[in-house]
Structure 1
């Protein structure tokens, strides 16, 4: 399956790598991917990190949660977590 998204491929890869390094039931924060790619300038990458998570949701690879409930990362306000799709 492919995506037509304009998501930053570095952030998509970072999310995949971070989740692969964790136990299957663990989550990551989008900021972890932003930090891995952007270093000191990670905050500027937060919208792009959410877009990368959105692309991976569309591919069926991940789910985005807030307070343990699956949410739409595009409309969710506040902190979210990313986990492998169940």
Structure 2
């Protein structure tokens, strides 16, 4: 949510951006292994979707539920 708050209204983020940020903050040595964080990111996305805090889209089309590639947006930005 903090990454989305730093973006303009209506902007989206990629889940891999979140994973990269998490690993970079954990340790510079782990930054290259961001893919290991993706299951955690996906679980957080599912939780935030359930809480209606975010929405998902791909190429301008809304997605529900999470599947395939997607972008994350704040629900107040839709």
Q: Offset of 1:47 from its aligned partner?
A: 2.2
Which residue of 44, 51, 71 corresponds with 1:52?
Answer: 44
The number of residue pairs the alignment matches comes to: 68
Q: Offset of 1:35 from its aligned partner?
A: 0.5
Unaligned runs of at least 5 residues, structure 2: 24-30
Matched with 2:27 is none
Q: Offset of 1:50 from its aligned partner?
A: 1.6
More helix as a share of residues: 2
Secondary structure of the structure 2 residue equivalent to 1:53: helix
Q: TM-score, normalised by structure 1?
A: 0.72
CA contact (8 A) 1:53 1:64 kept: no
Alignment of 1:38-49 (within 5 A): 38=23, 39-49=31-41
Q: Which of these two proteins has the greater Rg computed from alpha carbons? A: 2
Deviation >6 Å, runs of 4+: none
Distance 2:12 2:72 in 1: 5
Unaligned runs of at least 5 residues, structure 1: 1-15
Matched with 1:13 is none
